[in-house]
Structure 1
Amino acid sequence: MDGLSNASLGRLGQPGPLYDRAGLRAGILHFGVGNFFRAHQAAYLDRLMNMGLAQDFAIIGAGVMPGDEAMRQALAAQDHLYTLVEQSAERSQARVLGPVVDFIAPGDAARLIATMADPAIRIVSLTITEGGYFIDATTGHFDPAHPAIAADGQTPEAPATVFGLIVAGLKARRAAGHPPFTVMCCDNIPHNGAVTREAVVGTARLSDPDLAAWIEAGVAFPNAMVDRITPATSDRERRLVREEFGIPDQVPVFCEDFTQWVLEDSFPAGRPPLEQAGVEFVADVTPWELMKIRILNGGHAVIAYPAGLMDIHFVHEAMENPLVRGFLEKVEADEIIPAVPPVPGTDLAAYFARVAERCANSKIGDTVRRLCLDGSNRQPKFIIPTIADRLARGLPVTGLALESALWCRYCAGVSDSGAVIEPNDPNWDRLTRVAQAARQDPAAWLAMSEIYGETGRDPVFAGAFADWLARLWREGTPATLAAYLGR
C-alpha cells in the first residue's frame, strides 16, 4: 500500500483537503507539533482553508527537543499530511488534513530565526506542555535562573530554548523594521498568554533589556482556553486508521468529536478568521480558563490516580467503575464546581455532565496512564489552587485531600496489586523516594514546597491528607473510596 502523500490523496476514498496546498502561504510558525496541536489548532485552520479562507496562514512546524525529530521525519515522508479521526460514542469519522506545509528540524536555530523574521509570519504559536515554561512553583513565576534559560541569556545568538528562539526572532524583526508577530500560547496552563509573556520578556532581559522593554510594550500575548481530549498515537491507532479507513498513515491523530477554543482577540499583525471555524473570541478568557482547568483537568486527576492504583487501563473503563465514577462526581459536586466562578452563558453542572460523558467515550481509547502523567507539573495548576481557595474560605477539602493522597500513593511506584508502575513523571525518581518515605511520615510529601507551597503547611489539609494516605496503605484503594463515598 502506498504511503500517505499528495499523490495518493485521490486514491484513498476518504475526505481530504479541498484547497490547493501548492497555493498555501505560511503565516504561522508553531512550536510543538504533537497530537493536541494537530487535533486542535491545525484542525481549525484546515476547516477555514476548506472554506476558501486563511490560505496565507499555513503552518510551519518547529522542533526544539531531540524527540521532535521523529515527528518531523514522519510528517515529511507524508508531504506533511496526516489523518484526524474524530470519535463520538456512535461513530468515527476520518479526514486528511493539510495546513502544515513544512517542519524545521530541531537544532536549526538559524532557519527558525530567519523564518520568524519573515514579515509573512504573523503568529508564533506554542504547545510545549504544561512543564515547558520554566515556572518556579514556589513563586509561581518564570525562573530566569534555570540553567537552560541562563545559557540562552549568555549566548543569545545561539539559543536552544523556545523562549530564547522567540526572543532572537523578535530581535531580528525589530532590526529589519518589521512589526512583531503575535505569540499565541495554546498550552493548558492558567493565564497562558501572560505566562508566555513573562517567559519571553524574562529571557530577553538577561541579554538585552532594551529589547525586553520593546517586547513588553509591543508584542501581543493573547490568553486562550483550549480543550479537546487527544490520546497518544500507538500501533493500535495506526492499525485502526489503516484497516477501518484504508489510510496508510504513520502518525494519525485520534480525538473526541468535542472541541473548544476561547481566545482573546489581540492580534495586531493580523489573524485568520477563526470565528468562522467555531473559535469564540472574548475580552477576558479567565472564566472559561478556570472552568476548564478546574472541572476538566482537575477531574482528570481525580479519575487518574485511583484508576492507576486499581490497574485500570482505559479512561472509559475507569468511568465504568462505580467507585471511581462516584469519587469523581462527589468531589466535583462538593468541592471543585463550587470553587469555580460563574462563566457567562454556561451552566457549570451541565458542563461537568458533558465532561463526564466525554471521559466515558469508549471510542477514544484514552489511557489512565496518560492522565497520570506529569503530576508534579499538573497538580500545582489543576488541583492545589482549588484546595488553597477552599481553605482560604474555611471550606472542607476532604475529597481533594484524598486525591492528593492517591497521587502520593501512586508515586510510590506499585499499584494495589503489587504491579510495578513505570516512571510517569519527569521527577519520578524523587517523587517515588518521597512517596515511600511518606508512608511513615506524610508530612514529607507535603514538604515539597515547589509543588504545594503554603498549602502543604495548612493543618486542616495536612491532617486530612495524612489520614487518607494511611488508610490507602492499610486498606487499599477500593475500600478507601468506598469509605469516602459512605458505601
Structure 2
Amino acid sequence: MTIKLSQNALPQFSANVSVPSYKQSDLKAGIIHFGIGNFHRAHQAVYLDELFNAGTDHEWGLVGAGVLPSDEIMRQKLKDQDWLTTVVEQDSGHRKAYVTSSMIDYIQPGNAANTIARLADPEIRIVSLTITEGGYFIDPASGKFNPQHPAIAADAANIGSPKTVFGLILAGLIRRRSEGTPAFTVMSCDNIPGNGHVTSDAICGLAALIDPVLADWVKQNVAFPNGMVDRITPATTDRERNFLATEFGVEDNWPVFCEPFKQWVLEDHFPTGRPALEKVGVTFVEDVAPYELMKIRILNGGHAAIAYPASLMDIHFVHEAMEEPLIRNFLTKLEREEIIPVLPPVPDMPFDQYFDLIIRRFSNPKIGDTIQRLCQDGSNRQPKFILPTTADRLRAGDSITGLSLVSALWCRFCAGTTDSGKPTDYLDASAERLKIEALKAKGDPKAFLAMTDIFGDVGTAPVFVESFSRILRTLWDKGARETLELYLENKL
C-alpha cells in the first residue's frame, strides 16, 4: 500500500521514512530560490531542513521561483503535495528516505509583478540560484558576461516586466532601493568558477545598461558570496518513483534520489544575515576559490571526461562506466597526470584523497546516474570544466594528450552516433551547430575548433590543434575502445 505525499499524510508513513520534526506552518519566508530542480532539493533544501529539524532558524523558509515553462510543471507537481519532497540517499552500504518541508511556497513562473513584489519583501534576505552553467549569459570563450544577448537587451529596455532571472532580481533590488529596504544577498549555487563574481557581473552588467548610477548602487550594496556545492543527483524517472513506492510506500510526484555525500563551502558574506548553516555541516571560509577549483576540475571535469567514451561505447549508467577498466583507468591517468598537477593546494584536502573519494562516488551503483545526463550541455561544460585545464598546461608547456582526447571524444560524440551506430541524443542549446561542425571535422578536424566562442585561444594553439586532430582521426578510424587502449599504453 502506498500513501500519497502530503502534510496530512506524514503521520501515516512507516518508521523507515523520516519526516520533519517541525511544522511547515511555523516557517517564515527568508530565502527565494530560482531553479527548483533536483540538485537544489537534494542540497540547499536538505541543509535547511536539517537546520529546521534542530529547532532553529525557522525564519529562513524557502520560496521557490522560476522563469522557464518547465518551472511551472515542477511547481504544480510540488503544490499537489504541499511543497514536500522525498529524498532518497543511497550507496552500496546505506539507504535512507526522508521528507523535507523547508519549502513553504512557490511563486508562479511568468508572473513578473508577483515575483518582484516577493523579492521586495523585507523578510527576504537571501536570493539564491541553481540555473545551470548555461543560465548566466556568459560568453564561453571569454568567460565574461555578454550584455548583448537579446534576452538581456530586452530586459534592459523593459526592466519593469523582465523575463530573465537577472532582470527579475534587479527589478526586485530596484524596488527595495526605492522603498529604503536593505538589499538582499544574491547567492549562486551553480558549478561555475567564481560563481558569486559571475552573478555579480550579470546583475551589474544588466544594471549598467539601464543606468550607471544603478550599477554602482548594486556594486556597493549587494553581496555576492562565492560558493562550492557538491552532491551527485541524477534526474528523476518512473524508475525512481516506482522504487520509492515499492520500497518505502510513498507516492511522490517528483522524488529526489542522490548519494549520501554532500558538501557546501561558502564565503561568509551575508550583510543582512543568514541561517546558521555551519551547525549542519556547511563550511564557511574567507576564500572558496581553491575548493571550488578542485571540485570543478576533478569532479566535474571527471564527469565530462568519462561521459563521451562511455556514450560511444553504449554504456548507460555512470557506475557501469566505472566498472569498465578502460574508462576507469583513462580517468585515473588523466586526473593524476594532467588535471591534478596544475591545481593550487587546498587547505586540509590532499588531492589523492579527494580523487579516491570521487572514484568511490562515481562507482556508486545505487543512485542510477546516467551517462546521458553527463553528456548534456557540453558547449557550456567543456569551456568551464576541461578547456581551462588545457589552457593552464599549454601555458606551462606540459603534455595535453589526455585533455585533447577528452575534447576529441566530445567532438566524435557530437557527430550523432555511437561506435555501434546508435544515435547520441543529447540536450544542448548549440546541438544543431555542434553536429554540423562535428561531421565536418571528420574530414577537417579544425572545423570543430573553429567555434571560437567555445574553444577560444585553446582552439588555435598549434600543439592542441595537432593533438586534437590526430586523436580525432584515430577515434574515427579505430573507435573509442581502441583509442583508449592506445592512450593507456602511451601510444596515442
What is the TM-score when the length of structure 1 is the normalising length? Answer: 0.99
Superposition deviation, residue 137 in structure 1: 2.0
1-structure distance, mates of 2:24, 2:276: 19
After superposition, residues 320-331 of structure 1 pair within 5 angstroms as 320-331=323-334
SS at match of 2:69: coil
Amino acid at match of 1:281: F
In the TM superposition, what whole-angstrom CA distance separates every residue of 1:165-199 from its partner, at most 9, and x where no partner exists? 00000011111111000000000000000000000
**What does residue 432 of structure 2 align with?**
429
Is the aligned partner of 1:268 residue 2:271?
Answer: yes
Superposition deviation, residue 2 in structure 1: 4.3
Deviates more, 1:81-90 or 1:309-318: 81-90
After superposition, residues 383-394 of structure 1 pair within 5 angstroms as 383-394=386-397
**What does residue 6 of structure 1 align with?**
7
Runs of 4+ with deviation above 4 angstroms:
none
In the TM superposition, what whole-angstrom CA distance separates every residue of 1:256-314 from its partner, at most 9, and x where no partner exists? 00000000000001000000010000000000011000000000011100000000000
**Which of 348, 363, 368 is the equivalent residue of 2:366?**
363
In the TM superposition, what whole-angstrom CA distance separates every residue of 1:353-398 from its partner, at most 9, and x where no partner exists? 1001000000010000111110000000000000000000000000
Is the aligned partner of 1:439 residue 2:442?
Answer: yes
Deviates more, 1:161-170 or 1:417-426: 417-426
SS at match of 2:284: strand
After superposition, residues 160-171 of structure 1 pair within 5 angstroms as 160-171=163-174
2-structure distance, mates of 1:233, 1:220: 34
SS at match of 1:476: helix
**What does residue 395 of structure 1 align with?**
398
Amino acid at match of 1:351: Y
**What does residue 244 of structure 1 align with?**
247
Superposition deviation, residue 205 in structure 1: 1.4
After superposition, residues 113-152 of structure 1 pair within 5 angstroms as 113-152=116-155
**Which of 331, 337, 340 is the equivalent residue of 1:337?**
340
2-structure distance, mates of 1:117, 1:100: 19
**What does residue 67 of structure 2 align with?**
64
**What does residue 34 of structure 2 align with?**
31
**What does residue 199 of structure 2 align with?**
196
Deviates more, 1:136-145 or 1:286-295: 136-145
Q: How many residues align?
A: 487
SS at match of 2:92: coil
**Which of 264, 279, 285 is the equivalent residue of 2:288?**
285
2-structure distance, mates of 1:348, 1:250: 39
What is the TM-score when the length of structure 2 is the normalising length? Answer: 0.98
Amino acid at match of 2:61: A
CA RMSD of aligned residues (A): 0.8
* Gapped regions of structure 2 (runs ≥ 5): none
Amino acid at match of 2:426: P
Superposition deviation, residue 139 in structure 1: 2.5
Superposition deviation, residue 138 in structure 1: 3.2
2-structure distance, mates of 1:152, 1:379: 28
SS at match of 2:251: coil
SS at match of 1:141: coil
In the TM superposition, what whole-angstrom CA distance separates every residue of 1:136-179 from its partner, at most 9, and x where no partner exists? 12332111110000000000100000000000000111111110
2-structure distance, mates of 1:109, 1:269: 24
Is the aligned partner of 1:105 residue 2:108?
Answer: yes
* Gapped regions of structure 1 (runs ≥ 5): none
**Which of 185, 198, 208 is the equivalent residue of 1:205?**
208
**What does residue 465 of structure 1 align with?**
468
In the TM superposition, what whole-angstrom CA distance separates every residue of 1:34-76 from its partner, at most 9, and x where no partner exists? 0000000000000000001120000000021111111000000
% same residue: 58
2-structure distance, mates of 1:107, 1:192: 25
